Amino acid sequence: MVILAFEENEENILNRILSCISKETDVLKHEVIQKGELSFKGLYIDQYKRIVVREDNEIELTYTEFEILLLLAQNAGVVFSKEQIYDIVWKEPYFGDYNIVMSHIRNIREKIEDNPSKPVYIQTIWGVGYRFNKNLSSGL
């Protein structure tokens, strides 16, 4: 019974941690949503007009590409796993198709990066996932 009590206690602690993270993410999203615009060195994203401009050239992204880019840019510096990206963007549980997320990330990089094989905006965190480079914010 001691083990069971420990497991329940551990689960409660984990749930509290996840709840706090969720609330913090909601606060961050709320602040960004009020503004609706994100600006980084050489890259501008307007959430409401759904446009992306890279060095004065508007970039055409698919709906899914835009959603992934927006998710990462709104949370610059936060690492998202492929599973988390899938769950949030597709709004359904992730079932292990890693290639679809990786494919969209590759397409986004082809469109917004000077050298997609050495990305500046969307960084790969090996074995974990992806994050948007927080050091590029111009504080619009």
Per-residue pLDDT tens over the stretch 62-81: 999 999 999 999 999 999 99
User: Could you tell me whether strands 37-40 and 43-46 are parallel, antiparallel, or unpaired per DSSP bridges?
Assistant: antiparallel
22 pLDDT above the threshold of 50: yes
What would the two tokens of residue 117 be? 């094989």
Q: Model confidence at 29, in pLDDT bands (50, 70, 90)? A: very low
- pTM for the model stands at 0.73
Residue 137 pairs in a beta bridge with: 40
Domain 39-136 in CATH 3.50.50.100? The answer is no
- Domain locations in the chain as residue ranges: 1-35, 39-136
The DSSP H or E segment spanning 58 is: strand 57-59
H-type alpha helices, the chain: 2-35, 63-74, 82-90, 98-112
